[in-house]
Amino acid sequence: MDAVTYPDPAVIDFMSDALIALRVPSDSKPLSDDFNVKWTPTLITLGPDGQDHHRTVGFLEPKELIARLLLGEGKYFFDNDKFPEALKALEKILADYRNTDAVQEAIYLKGVSQYKNSGDPLPLKAAYETLRKDFPEGEWTKRAYPYRLIG
């Protein structure tokens, strides 16, 4: 990632604006044990309390990295019941990083965040319908399958 992803101007801008990046060797004790890091690169999104909200392992090209970092940001807000903030991060993935692997989970979490924010279950069904149409065999489509029954 040092040769391709990290030097990319979009990655530099995103990381400078959106997060506090900390680079630690994968064998650095006790952090590698505390966070169960077994391979490099392992990217972990932590909250201020040190809780792990998202992780990804292995090489990611620049757009995929940014999408995964946005997903981590969205999951941090989701986990802390800050649904409007979660929706902003998830919607950015759907608008700007539609061709990344993060999009399926973003669609799912957007529906769940909208439901938790409003109490209206229809966004859950809409998330399932979008996933079914765009990713019929996808993992997140299978997870959203029960939402098809929402009237």
pLDDT in tens, the chain (151 residues): 788 898 999 999 999 988 888 888 888 999 999 999 998 899 999 999 899 999 999 999 999 999 999 999 999 999 999 999 999 999 999 999 999 999 999 999 999 999 999 999 999 999 999 999 999 999 999 999 999 999 8
Please give the residue range of the domain that contains residue 44. 9-149
Number of domains in the chain: 1
Residue 1 lies in a domain: no
2 located within any domain: no
77 found inside a domain: yes
Residue 4 lies in a domain: no
Specify if 141 maps to a domain.
Answer: yes
Burial 19-55 (b: 16+ CB within 10 A, else e): eeeeeeeeeeeeebeeeebeeebbbbbbeeeeebbbe
- The answer to whether position 25 is within a domain reads yes
- 17, part of any domain: yes
Within-domain flag for 60 = yes
Task: Look up the CATH number of the domain holding residue 49.
Answer: 1.25.40.10
